[in-house]
Amino acid sequence: MSDSTAKNNVRIPIVEFLNKIIVNVVETVAWLNVVLILVVLLQVIMRYGFNRGQVPLEELMWHLYAVVFMFGMAYAITNNSHIRVDIIHMRLPERTKHIFEILGILFLLLPTILVVLYHSVDWVAEAYRVGESSENPTGLPFRWAIKAVLPSSMTLMLIASTSRLIEEFIILLRIIKKEPADHNSG
């Protein structure tokens, strides 16, 4: 549940359901950080202890980092920890904050996700079709597998963005609904 949901005491079952999917997937993927640490340690030991660095380990480090980072973006949307210009955002009235969030999701985030998702599917399919592998002869095979992270993470970001859009819209409606009563009482 994001900060704005907690602040406004809004319980939205569909948002909670979608956020739970995202959190479960990302928390599972986050365990790859443990694997990444082990791979880094092994590569350091091989390179500096035995003077035998391994190209597959080097590539695997980048691949694992990419997976965790790409899926982590959906988590950031879900937990409202994504980057924004906070110095401006924090000074805005609540209603304006939610309007900006909605407009940002509709006109910046969702179009970007949809374009990347649309183009990445063909990119992965082509990599699979040609059996693309590392350019380094001793590198990792199955380049399509790491490329498949892009449409997968974009799909998760699409779910996170949709959830966030629903949440922001409902909170904005509740703020608007409360405003006339507040003006009449004061």
Q: What is the pLDDT of residue 172?
A: 95
CA–CA dist 29, 89 (Å, integer)? 31
| Range of weakest confidence among 4-18, 47-61, 137-151 | 4-18
CA–CA dist 74, 29 (Å, integer)? 12
Average pLDDT over residues 36-59: 93
Q: What is the pLDDT of residue 115?
A: 98
Domain boundaries, the chain: 3-177
Q: How confident is the model at residue 30 (pLDDT cuts 50, 70, 90)?
A: very high
CA–CA dist 30, 24 (Å, integer)? 10
CA atoms within 13 A on the CB side of 49: 6
Share of the chain above pLDDT 70, in %: 90
Higher pLDDT, 89 or 180: 89
Residue 177 CB neighbour total at 10 angstroms:
9
Nearest CA to 75 out of 130, 8, 137, 24 is that of: 24
